[in-house]
Amino acid sequence: MANIETALKEAMTIEGAIGVALVDYTSGLTLGVLGGGAVMDMNIAAAGNTDVVRAKVRTLEMLGLTDTIEDMLITLETQYHLIRLLQNRRGGDALFLYLSLSKNRANLGLARHQLRKIEAELEV
């Protein structure tokens, strides 16, 4: 099992990673961030994407769908923003991993696979 710091460091080894955050979308609190640098303020990005996750969860509830969200992809001109909702958390924590990737350097399929692996090993 990996702690938050280890999980974030592992996410930053994904090819093309710009920054990563672990976020509680019920409270909007960021539990950890890494990277971003001059390219992106990861705390602002994490907070903004909390609203995206809340809106999608609320929409699924209004539609009466019982499926769970695995991940969401936002494609920009030069970046991918990958949001992976963490499943089966003890205590019902509503967490997501937010990963920003350089579109020129990233392999989206591999990044999704690696985030699933990180999720499976993460102990919060």
- Tally of domains within the chain: 1
The residue range of the domain holding 75 is 4-121
Whether the model clears a pTM of 0.85, i.e. scores above it, the answer is yes
Per-residue pLDDT tens over the stretch 79-99: 999 999 998 655 557 999 999
CA 20/CA 60 separation, integer angstroms: 25
Strand partners, 73: 82
Per-residue pLDDT tens over the stretch 2-54: 799 999 999 999 999 999 999 999 888 999 999 998 889 999 999 999 999 99
CATH, residue 69: 3.30.450.30
